[in-house]
Structure 1
């Protein structure tokens, strides 16, 4: 199988790399972190000009007709610079719900705003009791005329404090952990009955707790009574994007570690000359290359129309890359020593992003257990 980029994909990679190399140095990122939003509005506008915000949408909806490969290319470059903008929440997650679940008129209206940079989206799914189970939903939705009334509380809503619209999972029927009876709804952030409390995650990215008190949703996405299938599909696409982002971050922190090992002196010689430390650096490289293969696999597997097989594959992707992120991040900290734990040095910031990435939509243990419950990646004949 040919994994080389075609001409247009190569141009996309070069464009994103150049933009982020110019605009996302370590000091630039510190300034973005300190801003009111916690990320750069100016850079967000440049993402729009470059077509990154309309990348996965069909051309007839106002997008650029990119696929999973193009999303992977952009996500990897963003991982290399541990960017702070709400690209994953708005374009990958929010955009996924619009592409797969929105009616044509709503999609046409929303995509133009997303692609132009004027509309920000956030996926409000996780609840205090739900842990990583997408089907554990206590928030309720009740039909009232042509709209729905949403009541409940969501936590860890990525970039929820700057979102214009929330995509909310809410239960129409059944018990809290039933897999049926879950709907997906579009709720304006400024709607009456919506309260938002933003906060910063450990890696610097923004998130929020959002409370819905009889908030009204005019639009349901997908099939209201069976929205979990839509949620699974969009989350699987997000896991593929997170896998690519992890590769970018691991590549950089590995290169940073090798450079440090070549310059840090101990006992009169560079610590990179010590065989035991060389072995650790080699283990990091092996983990990264294994993860790179899984990231490619994730991009292809996310398109699988067989939902059960797709979920099985994404469990495997998340478990393997999660272990690699943990190993690469921890070894980078150990090989750097105390300097890696300072706010003034980049290695610690990459480790924080890898840690948050590993826990997003289920940590390594969760996905390994889920894959085991399904009988493993390869089914017995």
Structure 2
């Protein structure tokens, strides 16, 4: 597989890097995190104008029909600047859900809204007792005429406070842990019966516990009772995008730590001249480049029609990025000393974000178990 970027991809990477470099620094990030919305509406509109939210949508739904590599390039640039806009939820998760699960009428209506940044999406699948499992669903969907009524609770729904639509998993048949019998629904976030308990997360984003009490969804996404397969396909895309974001953040930590090691002195010498520090920096570099290579290999491989192979490479990318994040984050903090975790220095903010990425949609232990199961099945 040729992993070299095309000229168009390199131009996209360069423009995304410049955009975030010009738009972000730690003081401006603090302002956006503290704002009512939790991010910059102006930047969000600019991202839509640049076409980033339309990359993964097919042309028939108002998008560009580009691949996961292009999305990964933007997510890496966003990770390097520690951006807080909901690119993942809307540009990746929302676009994938619409592409794979919406009928033509819904896609033609909602696609252009997503592309224009007028409709933001949040994924509500995790539950208080489900851990990371896609099939353990206590939220119910009871048939009511031609539609359904949803009741239940969803946990840690990132960017739910600012979302217009929720993608909700609910059980339409079977026992709470059966793989079949789960269906994905598109729900208006302002619907009667929805209540949210909002809170900030440690990495500066916003999330909510979402309660549903007799909520009527707008549409079914995909096939009834087969929502786990659609959800898995959505998360395949999300895992690669998160891995790319982690790679961007790790790259920043590596660059910052190398520069710090050149200037911080002990015993009248830069600490970067000490062999033990050099060894750590080399380990950090290896972790970043290994994760980057695995991420873009997975991004290119998401185009395969082999469902099992696609899920495996997505999990491998997420695991490698999560493992690398732990090493790079911890070593960055250690080399910077105690101030590495202070709020005044950006190192600690990056460390918090990559720590959260490693837990999002499955931690390393859970995803390694998933990989082992898929390997036995293949």
Q: CA deviation at 1:376?
A: 6.6
Q: Which residue pairs with 1:179 in the alignment? A: 179
**Residue by residue, what CA displacement relative to the aligned partner does 1:183-224 show, whole Å, maximum 9, x if unpaired?**
000110111101112211110011111110000013000001
Asked if residue 49 in structure 1 is aligned to residue 75 in structure 2, the reply is no
Alignment of 1:23-42 (within 5 A): 23-42=23-42
Q: Aligned runs of 1:95-244 on 2, under 5 Å?
A: 95-244=95-244
Pairing of 1:1-381 with structure 2 (within 5 A): 1-375=1-375
How far 1:234 sits from its partner (Å)?
0.7
The Cα RMSD (Å) is 1.4
**Contact (CA 8 Å) 2:58, 2:65: kept in 1 or not?**
yes
What is the aligned length? 378
Instruction: Tell me the alpha carbon deviations over residues 29-51 of structure 1, each in whole angstroms, 9 at most, x when there is no partner.
Output: 11111111111111101111111
Change (3 A) 1:316 1:14: closer
Whole-angstrom CA distance in 2 between matches of 1:310 and 1:19? 31
Which structure 1 segments of 5+ residues have no match? Answer: none
Moved more, 55-64 or 127-136: 55-64
Counterparts of 2:53 and 2:375, CA distance in 1: 38
Question: SS where residue 296 of structure 2 aligns?
Answer: helix
| TM-score normalised by L of structure 1 | 0.96
- Cα distance in 1 between the residues matched to 2:170 and 2:61: 27
Q: What's the CA shift string for 1:127-176, capped at 9, x where partnerless?
A: 01111111111100012122210000001111001110100000001111
1:335-370 C-alpha deviation (Å, 9 max, x unpaired): 111111111111111111110011111111111222
1:231 and 1:274 map into 2 onto residues whose CA distance is 49
Q: Normalised by the size of structure 2, how large is the TM-score? A: 0.97
SS of 1:161 mapped into structure 2: helix
In 2, Cα distance between equivalents of 1:226 and 1:369: 22
Q: Which is further off, 246-255 or 60-69?
A: 60-69
- For the residue of structure 2 that corresponds to 1:13, the secondary structure is helix
Distance in 2 (alpha carbons) for counterparts of 1:58 and 1:367: 29
How much does 1:375 deviate? 4.1
1:112 Cα deviation from its structure 2 partner: 0.9
Single out whichever of 159-168 and 24-33 deviates more from structure 2: 24-33
Give the whole-Å Cα distance in 1 for the aligned partners of 2:104 and 2:352.
Answer: 39
SS at match of 1:53: helix
**Distance of aligned partners of 1:36 and 1:10 in 2 relative to their CA distance in 1, 3 Å threshold:** same
Moved over 4 A (4+): none
Residues 136 and 301 of structure 1, relative CA distance in 2, 3 Å threshold: farther
Where 2:216 maps in the other structure, the secondary structure is strand
- 3-state SS of 2:160 partner: coil
Q: What SS does structure 1 have at the residue aligned with 2:53? A: coil
* Structure 1 residue 313, shift from structure 2 partner: 2.7
Structure 2 Cα separation of the partners of residues 243 and 95 of structure 1? 18
